[in-house]
């Protein structure tokens, strides 16, 4: 029988509002080519884990700490992904840079959401609030978010979707972060997850 849905794993580290956006989009039927099947966190106290459990999604904590090293962490991740038959990985606020070995193994099978318009304010050291601090420091008038494939270059993989968001007078990094999430991240991440899931399902990626 032909597969009707691919299986998606979401990697998280913190609040999990992007995970929530994926869950909500799946409930609304906007993600239909993929099923959110597993959430892996490298942080045992991530609120994202609660969001996943409350929605009946299997959760696991796999970290350098639990496994002893980054290599062992990635080995445990590969084992788990294989055992669970995962087809696509979505990094949704996952604050750990994956090795080239890992990203090559899952070529065009890992998506990441980044809170800026790549190639601005991206790469190593640009994560979470730091991205918005840098954007405000530079004085840009427009920022946004990007979903891209993950390769061995941090934030360097092919761009899938982007959405622009205005910077307003008096913005703090926190205010700007919230606007970028609401107006860009929570929209383009589910859209990209469906887009890529559909391609994989149809054998076009």
Region from 49-57, 72-80, 109-117, 192-200 binding ligand GAR, contact rule CB under 6 A = 109-117
- Most distant CA pair in the chain: distance in Å? 56
Separation between Cα atoms, residue 78 and residue 114, nearest integer Å? 23
Q: Which of 90, 103, 100, 141 is nearest to 120 (CA)?
A: 141
Size of the site for ligand GAR (CB under 6 A): 16
- Please state the closest distance from residue 97 (CB atom) to ligand GAR, in A: 9
Which residue lies nearer to ligand GAR by CB, 189 or 201? Answer: 189
- The answer to whether residue 92 forms part of the interface with ligand GAR (CB under 6 A) is yes
- Please state the closest distance from residue 86 (CB atom) to ligand GAR, in A: 19
- The answer to whether residue 93 forms part of the interface with ligand GAR (CB under 6 A) is yes
Which residue lies nearer to ligand GAR by CB, 193 or 201? Answer: 193
Tell me which residues are annotated as active site. 114
| Residue of closest CB approach to ligand GAR | 93
- The answer to whether residue 173 forms part of the interface with ligand GAR (CB under 6 A) is no
Give the helix ranges, DSSP H, for the chain: 17-27, 47-54, 64-67, 70-83, 100-105, 129-138, 173-180, 186-201
Binding mask 120-139 for ligand GAR (x = CB under 6 A): -------xx--x--------
- The answer to whether residue 14 forms part of the interface with ligand GAR (CB under 6 A) is yes
Q: What is the dihedral of CA 197, 158, 175, 19, to 10 degrees?
A: 20
- The answer to whether residue 146 forms part of the interface with ligand GAR (CB under 6 A) is no
- Please state the closest distance from residue 120 (CB atom) to ligand GAR, in A: 13
Bridge pairing between strands 88-91 and 159-166:
unpaired
Which residue lies nearer to ligand GAR by CB, 11 or 106? Answer: 11
Instruction: Give 154's DSSP letter.
Output: T
Q: Return the residues of window 22-81 that contact ligand GAR according to CB under 6 A.
A: 48
Tokens of 51: 């969001």
Concatenating the DSSP letter of every residue in 101-125 gives HHHHHTTT-EEEEESS-TTSS-STT
119 upstream amide cis, omega within 30 of 0: yes
Rule CB under 6 A: which residues touch ligand GAR? 14-18, 48, 92-93, 113-115, 127-128, 131, 181, 185
């Amino acid at each position: 029988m032909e597969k009707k849905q691919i299986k998606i794993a979401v990697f998280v580290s913190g609040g999990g509002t992007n995970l929530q956006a994926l869950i909500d989009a799946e409930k609304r039927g906007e993600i239909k080519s993929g099923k959110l099947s597993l959430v892996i966190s490298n942080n045992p106290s991530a609120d994202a884990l609660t969001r996943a459990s409350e929605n009946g999604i299997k959760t696991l904590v796999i970290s350098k700490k639990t496994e002893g090293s980054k290599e062992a962490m990635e080995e445990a991740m590969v084992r788990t992904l294989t055992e669970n038959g995962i087809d696509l990985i979505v990094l949704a606020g996952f604050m750990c840079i994956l090795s080239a070995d890992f990203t090559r193994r899952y070529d065009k099978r890992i998506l990441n959401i980044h809170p800026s318009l790549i190639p601005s304010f991206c790469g190593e050291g640009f994560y979470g609030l730091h991205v918005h601090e840098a954007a405000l420091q530079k004085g840009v008038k427009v920022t946004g978010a990007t979903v891209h494939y993950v390769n061995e270059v941090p934030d360097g993989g092919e761009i899938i979707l982007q959405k622009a968001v205005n910077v307003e007078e008096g913005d703090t990094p926190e205010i700007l972060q919230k606007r970028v999430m609401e107006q860009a991240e929570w929209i383009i991440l589910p859209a990209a997850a469906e887009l890529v899931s559909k391609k994989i399902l149809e054998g076009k990626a």
